[in-house]
Chains A and B, each alone.
With several copies, the nearest count.
Chain A
Amino acid sequence: MTTLTLGKALNSGLRKAMEDDPKVILMGEDIGRLGGVFRITDGLQKDFGEARVVDTPLAEAGIIGTAVGLAMRGYRPVCEIQFDGFVFPAFNQIVTQVAKIHARSRGRLPMPITIRIPFGGGIGAVEHHSESPEAYFAHTTGLKVVAVSNPADAYWMLQQAIACPDPVVFFEPKRRYWDKADVDLDETPPPLLSSRVVRAGDDVTLLAYGPMVKTALQAAEAAAADGQSIEVIDLRTLSPLDLGPVEESVRRTGRCVVVHEAQTTLGLGAEIAARVTESCFHSLEAPVLRVGGYDVTYPPSKLEEEYLPDLDRVLHVVDQVMGF
């Protein structure tokens, strides 16, 4: 057991992955000498050298496109996109190449590429630094998409993502980088592509991932005080979805709420609502409700607290689903 911040857990996970496999290479803007703007790669260039921790030119398509070539040569690139809002110059390479090459080559060219993206708001940043683009990637077959919510998952899931033979878009809740928790470096972690019940409950099933898991747990805590029993599930994997535990839960509770920061329309909540409704139709006492960002341009930071789902908005919708 060691206590780590989420950021440090990612750093340790990267270090472990690099020690375990000499083919693991880190690429990104400012990740070497600086250690990354969030210091997630701190110290790694010093210890593994510039050939394995590559400070790249300022071009996201270049980062992903050259990672594809490195993967073809047998490497396992781990690419850092500096902020969520800056993944789009690489979108063409991710969607038309990274996601398709395994199928195009019928398995002859695996793409074991990990794309790390710090995502979400709440840090008072300027434009493009607080986006939640995960649905774009979950809608893209050929990619696997995960989001971590706590230090232990950060440590283990990052290593699992790097070891995964398929491309993984790895979302990191940037506003939780500084959250601390105990990490058992010897445990056997659950599979990468699995969701997990993080709080048991009977009245409502509350689904979250990434930064919103903490918010969901706080909401459940507050609701408990009012005698409401909320079951909280950390989805962890966004593509593929692991809805087994969700369906088991919803069949008991009959009520389901999904929360995420991303804009509500066509966010992950839409897909989950559609699937859960199909699989649990006769158990549902109310429609699956969503708490997400409003369908507006991410606002200037003075307004982000009003834009982002928080404890109150979650409880507000929980009340709606209970009262339906």
Chain B
Amino acid sequence: MTAAPEIQAIADPVPGAGAPHLPAQPGSGPDFVQLLTPEGERVENADYALDISDDELRSLYRDLALVRRWDVEATALQRQGELGIWASLLGQEAAQIGAGRALGPQDMAFPTYREHGVAWARDVDPLHVISLFRGNDLGGWDPVARKFNLYTVVIGAQCLHATGYAMGIQRDAAMTEAPAAALAFLGDGATSQGEVNEALIWAATFSAPVVFFCQNNQYAISAPIETQSRVPLFQRAAGFGFPGVRVDGNDVLAVLAVTRAALARAREGSGPTFIEAFTYRMGAHTTSDDPTRYRLAGELEEWKLRDPIARLKAHLSRSGKADAAFFAAVDAEGDELAARIRKGTLEMPDPAGTEMFDHVYAEQTEEIAAQRASFLEYHAGFEGDEQ
């Protein structure tokens, strides 16, 4: 990431600040897979050929635009007090749509709390994500039907779940089931959690069909990537014995190609891959955060030039693969989506108090049944009271 001079200045006195910093922006070359330049130029990569139809390109654009629209609407709803908090994916649309679209129907995804784009690609109803941030539930979708796990808020915990799920796939395969893979999402900050490193170790030891998709958006709340690693994150995989690759996370085509290849490799029994999607969190960490306290505006301006949607739009229009009508249609669809999300949010019924007693166990205990009863009795006591 670009460590702005001023932040540099602050950083120097800390012991160890001598260590190398990451490049402002990794150039292309084997260590940085890019298929679409920030200017919208299509470039080839020997290892990751992608032959893709114009329809597909347009539908990728549509996904990118719609999830951004959803994200903008959710942020507005939070500002208006309709959501408790919102974790914006602004700037990470390409990483998430690229990864999400690479998944096959048989694969299982394990998101963090920011993977709204992947949720979209897995056909999760945006309102089922909204309901979590509104405080109505802990995730409203069916993780089994959608093959998209519930959001995991404890940093990194889902990486072991994905690895275990992949071990299950291996065992089912022995019972001749269709090959599948697990896709674990994590952030750059998450790479410092012990459990995440254990997941890498287990995946390597059991050669499990799991792909670790790390969105390096340069920050863990206020902590720049140097806080977690002095060398590029993708390099860590080699030390555990499997391949790591760094892809331009703002290039939906490159992310799609790299993730597809890694999932295919996992499904065919060749083991795990670690993907570092090099991107940028263009918004605040969440609506509770104030990034001006720890990063400079200039940084954002620089990354705007690498906007994931703008570059695909440039490519589509310059190459004549999409016309003004198409973009207008997508915008209109975005407005409809936003309206549906807003309406659905405002009309969302509050959960019943008894809900909290009903899902603690598959086989409810007498203790909880009794507490549920006294809860009802207690509230019945207020019947008629003005309150």
The interface of chain A, by Cβ under 8 A from chain B, is 25, 29-30, 32-35, 37, 49-52, 54-59, 61-62, 64-75, 77, 85-86, 88-89, 92-93, 96-97, 101-110, 112, 124-128, 141-142, 144, 164-166, 193, 240-241, 265, 294-297, 299-303, 306-307, 312-313, 316
Contacts and interface: CB of A to CB of B under 8 A. Distances in A.
A62 B202 contact: yes
Interface string B177-201: 0000010000001101111001101
Given A58-B220, A70-B168, 12 more contacts: A57-B201, A57-B228, A62-B201, A66-B164, A85-B153, A101-B150, A105-B143, A108-B144, A127-B138, A141-B360, A166-B362, A303-B355
Given A33-B294, A67-B164, A125-B84, A50 B362 contact: no
Q: Which 3 A-B pairs have the closest CB atoms?
A: A69-B164, A65-B160, A73-B168
Given A29-B223, A103-B138, A142-B360, A306 B353 contact: yes
Nearest to A35: B293
A273 B208 CA distance: 49
Which of A54, A55, A307: most chain B CB closer than 10 A?
A: A55
B195 A61 contact: yes
A108 B145 CA distance: 10
Q: Is the interface of A mostly helix, strand, loop or mixed?
A: loop
A124 B136 CA distance: 11
A199 to B, nearest CB: 25
B171 A93 contact: no
17 contacts: A30-B222, A37-B288, A51-B174, A58-B228, A62-B160, A73-B165, A75-B168, A97-B157, A102-B360, A104-B139, A109-B144, A126-B132, A240-B368, A297-B360, A300-B136, A300-B351, A303-B351
Given A33-B294, A68-B164, A109-B144, A102 B359 contact: yes
A295 B370 CA distance: 11
Which of B162, B174, B221, B360: most chain A CB closer than 10 A?
A: B360
B357 interface: yes
A165 B223 contact: no
Which of A62, A67, A97, A107: most chain B CB closer than 10 A?
A: A62
Contacts of B367: 240-241, 265, 295
A61 B198 contact: yes
A97 B161 CA distance: 10
A59 B227 CA distance: 11
Interface string B123-158: 000000000111111110011100001101111010
Nearest to B7: A33
A302 B294 contact: no
Interface residues of B, number: 87
Contacts of A316: 378, 381
B11 interface: yes
A37 B366 CA distance: 37
B41 interface: no
Nearest to A85: B154
A51 B15 contact: yes
B346 to A, nearest CB: 14
B220 A62 contact: no
B160 A69 contact: yes
A53 to B, nearest CB: 10
B371 interface: yes
Which of B165, B201, B368: most chain A CB closer than 10 A?
A: B165
B79 to A, nearest CB: 15
Interface of B: 7, 10-11, 13-15, 17, 84-85, 108, 113, 132-139, 142-144, 149-150, 152-155, 157, 159-172, 174, 182, 189-190, 192-195, 198-199, 201-202, 205, 220-223, 227-228, 288-289, 293-294, 350-351, 353, 355-363, 365-368, 371, 375, 378, 381-382
Given A50-B13, A61-B194, A303 B166 contact: no
Contact of B138 (A88, A124, A300, A313): A300
A63 B197 CA distance: 13
Given A92-B195, A303-B356, A105 B139 contact: yes
B161 A89 contact: no
Nearest to B144: A108
Contact of A106 (B137, B155, B382): B137
B136 A302 contact: yes
A65 B378 contact: no
A77 B160 CA distance: 14
B48 to A, nearest CB: 28
Contact of A30 (B136, B149, B154, B223): B223
Contacts of A59: 192-194, 198, 201-202
Contact of A109 (B150, B163, B182, B201): B150
A124 B350 CA distance: 14
Nearest to A316: B378
A73 B163 CA distance: 11
Nearest to A45: B10
A316 B135 CA distance: 27
Given A86-B154, A93-B195, A240-B367, A57 B222 contact: no
A97 B154 contact: yes
Nearest to A313: B378
Contacts of B201: 57, 59, 62
Contacts of B220: 29, 58
Which of A72, A102, A295, A316: most chain B CB closer than 10 A?
A: A72
A279 B294 CA distance: 54
Nearest to A77: B164
A65 B361 contact: no
A295 B371 contact: yes
A294 B357 contact: yes
A98 to B, nearest CB: 10
Contacts of B11: 50
Nearest to B138: A104
Contacts of A97: 152, 154, 157, 161
Contact of A128 (B139, B154, B378): B154
A142 to B, nearest CB: 6
A73 B182 CA distance: 11
Contacts of A56: 202, 227
B269 to A, nearest CB: 14
A135 to B, nearest CB: 16
B55 to A, nearest CB: 34
Which of A49, A54, A66: most chain B CB closer than 10 A?
A: A66
A52 B168 CA distance: 10
Contact of A66 (B135, B150, B202, B228): B202
